[in-house]
Amino acid sequence: MIAGDPLLSRSAHLTPLTILRALLIGALFALALALVFAFQAAPEPLRLEAGKPSPKTILASERVTFISELLTEDARAKAEAQVRDVYDPPDASLARNQVRAANRVLNYFDSVRHDPYSSPERKLEWVHQVPTLTRASQVLSRTLALEEPAYQRIVSEVVYVLDVTMRNAIRPSDLSAEAARIPSRVSLAFSAEHAELATAWVQVFIAPNSFFNPIRTNEERARARARVGAVYHTVEKGQALAREGEVVTPLALEALASTGFLRPSPSAADYAGPALLAILLAILLAIFLIHSHPRQIAHPRTLLLLAFLILIFAACAKMLGDRSTMLHYLFPISAAAMLLTVLANSGVALGATMILALSFGFFAHGSLELTMYALAGGIVASLSLGRIERLPAFLWSGVYVAAANAAVVAIFRALALEKDAMVWGAALLAALGNGILSGLLALGSLFLIGKLFGITTSLELLDLARPTHPLLKKLLVEAPGTYHHSLIVSQLAEQAAQRIGADALLVRVAAYYHDVGKTRDPQSFVENQMDGINVHDTLAPKASAGIVIDHVARGIALAKKFGIPERLRDFIPQHHGTTLAAYFHRKATKQNGNAAPVEERDFRYPGPKPQSRETAILMLADGVEATTRAERPTTPEQIRAIVDYIFGERLRDGQLDESDLTLRDLQQVKEAFFGVLQGLYHPRVKYPEPPGPVEPSTVSSETAEQ
């Protein structure tokens, strides 16, 4: 269900049960809102802030010892800071890999050295192609020029020194220092030149083998913190906790809170006022709904959604505190209006906006600015959204909300004669950010909120419209004629819905799934009989009618199996309503002759009749498409005649009585159907016959493609 859902636009009969249910939801909502408001009722606390001068001198009235969170945290932080980073022990597998890599490279180097057909320059090019050889050309050239005994001794020494070095713990930060220690590990029996070469080669292959272990480090630090017990702080009787004009320290503020100066005990009277205000707001909202949107009272899901969003946003607004901060300007309260506009309608969203704006201002000590801020943003959000068929609509609504917020902020900054450019800039940026956050929050939570309250959102409809949906793929593969029929019906229904202001996205997606029940026995339906064989020629009319009518029940079962939302499943039985399977009824009547009359109820669909404008449009589109496909009209007059006939039949049969379609709506739907069908069945241009004999099948094929 999205904005303008037919389920919410129909006239609702208020039975005693629906009234009782609405009263129960309203009472629970008022009670919950009163609880949210009551927690705001603490007496005015002593306003002291750390780092700012105290307005008065405060002396302790008695000796108090308390656990100081500040001192405890300070002690634990010091203990944690003393724990060094923990590194893993040397990884032997890494050491072995480096030794093996050194052996492979040196073996390759040795094979290059012994190549009798390559020049020294060519050999140098080859060894430079080894990725791990990052040594300078001078080192490589000198190594290539070594005599065989000297080379073998250097190779043995390189492997030995590398083995010894990689046994040590080498951290990434210690790699340079470890490389600097290599010369001291090379055998003193080597000449300076050979020792330098051996050192250079070992430095190629040493690598870190001990790495920082954040898990063990955090565990050690956590243990160090845990070993520090609570630190107690004592305030003596008569001790000055704060002195007038002196800067209040965090420890002094903690002492004031622990001695009760910052948290006076509230009385019962402190809760009464806010609770009564919350109840009054709930009553005003109820009066608004009864007067302006009485149909919503019969829909508990809408009432629950309204109560849920108001309570959630009111509770979050209360948590921001009673002092106006930038967080208040960033709080995306307009997201509630966006969600209610999309999931219910703009009228309900406006009612919620008024309640939330008054609550927002109350929580901020009666701030008129924040009340107007929330009210302006919510009104703009409610009026800028409608049926969401494109996701960017949320972002555009957020932009409009941001503009409204910025206007309110600018007005109140001007009224306050604010001249500080930084204050202006911060407030305007927060106002703009609020609009964007509201749009993103509404977009991100739409699917979740819809699922929570059993409401089919526009996002879900867009997902169900994908041709790759398993049920649509099943329809395409098993009943291709029905699939094509559904596409044309969706085009007809969507155009008609747009023309009369109904929900075009909902009816388009519903058209895709309205005949999925035909996948059970596709050859029993004419659009899937590709070989010209009609199975109904060999069946009794009543049996044929039963097969055709049964596709409704099969469709409902299949839609449930594939998780199609209830709102879309309603279209499956309602698009046929209680219409008569006229062809089989006439056939049965003809076969009966002068015998007993044929019972119509055996040839009628089970219903119900269309309960909304959307389901009625789908019924009309389905009938018009099926008839035009059978008749193949070639002129506009024939198309109009078919449309008029189907509309007349449905009206005479009383199928549209419960759909809220007006005569003006029907006329506009006719025009929409005619426009689409005229494009589908426009006259073809007859081309001259080609010279020479042409096969009849070829001619018909060419004509069909025109």
Q: What is the pLDDT of residues 88-132, one digit of tens each?
A: 888 888 888 888 888 887 777 777 777 776 777 776 767 666 666
Backbone phi, then psi, for 544, in 5-degree steps? Answer: -60, -45
Helix (H) / strand (E) element for 64: namely strand 64-67
Separation between Cα atoms, residue 110 and residue 115, nearest integer Å: 9
Does the pLDDT at position 240 exceed 70? yes
Residue 323 vs residues 130, 182, 327, 537, 678: alpha-carbon distances, Å: 67, 65, 10, 81, 65
Dihedral class, residue 577 (left if φ above 0, else alpha if ψ from -120 to 50, else beta): left
Mean pLDDT, range 183-192, rounded to an integer: 84
Binning pLDDT at 50, 70 and 90, where does residue 597 land?
confident
Residue 53's SS3 state is: strand
Q: Residue 668: CB partners within 8 Å, gap ≥ 6?
A: 496, 499, 500
Alpha helices in 457-570 (DSSP H): 458-464, 470-478, 480-500, 504-513, 541-561, 566-569
Separation between Cα atoms, residue 438 and residue 171, nearest integer Å: 48
Give residue 135's pLDDT. 60
Q: Tell me which range, 65-69, 151-155, 299-303, 377-381, is most confidently predicted by mean pLDDT.
A: 377-381
Give 234 or 39, the one with higher predicted confidence. Answer: 234
Mean pLDDT, range 628-652, rounded to an integer: 90
Residue 244's SS3 state is: strand
Separation between Cα atoms, residue 357 and residue 371, nearest integer Å: 5
C-beta separation of 458 from 502 below 8 A: no
Side chain identity at residue 555, one-letter code: G
DSSP state of 4: T
From the CB of residue 487, how many other CB atoms can be counted at a distance below 10 Å?
A: 16
Binning pLDDT at 50, 70 and 90, where does residue 8 land?
very low
Residue 383 vs residues 345, 440, 510: alpha-carbon distances, Å: 10, 17, 27
Give 399 or 128, the one with higher predicted confidence. Answer: 399
Backbone phi, then psi, for 58, in 5-degree steps? Answer: -125, 125
| Whether domain 465-680 has CATH 1.10.3210 | yes
303-333: pLDDT as tens digits: 999 999 999 999 999 988 777 788 899 999 9
DSSP state of 576: T
C-beta separation of 281 from 311 below 8 A: no
Give residue 132's pLDDT. 65
C-beta separation of 571 from 540 below 8 A: no
Q: Residue 249: CB partners within 8 Å, gap ≥ 6?
A: 50
Give residue 488's pLDDT. 94
Binning pLDDT at 50, 70 and 90, where does residue 137 land?
low
Give the residue extent of every domain in the chain.
6-41+274-457, 55-76+213-242, 92-205, 465-680
* Count helices and strands in the chain by DSSP H and E runs: 31, 4
Average pLDDT over all residues of the chain: 82
Residue 415 vs residues 323, 324, 369: alpha-carbon distances, Å: 19, 17, 11
Return the closest-CA partner of residue 112 out of 102, 104, 101, 123. 123
C-beta separation of 224 from 83 below 8 A: yes
539-570: pLDDT as tens digits: 888 888 888 899 999 999 999 999 999 889 99
Give 622 or 693, the one with higher predicted confidence. Answer: 622
Does the pLDDT at position 285 exceed 80? yes
Separation between Cα atoms, residue 322 and residue 366, nearest integer Å: 9
- Relative to beta strand 232-235, strand 64-67 is antiparallel
Alpha carbon distance, N-terminus to C-terminus of the chain: 40
Separation between Cα atoms, residue 407 and residue 418, nearest integer Å: 15
Give residue 595's pLDDT. 63
Does the pLDDT at position 345 exceed 60? yes
Separation between Cα atoms, residue 548 and residue 584, nearest integer Å: 10
Mean pLDDT, range 177-205, rounded to an integer: 83
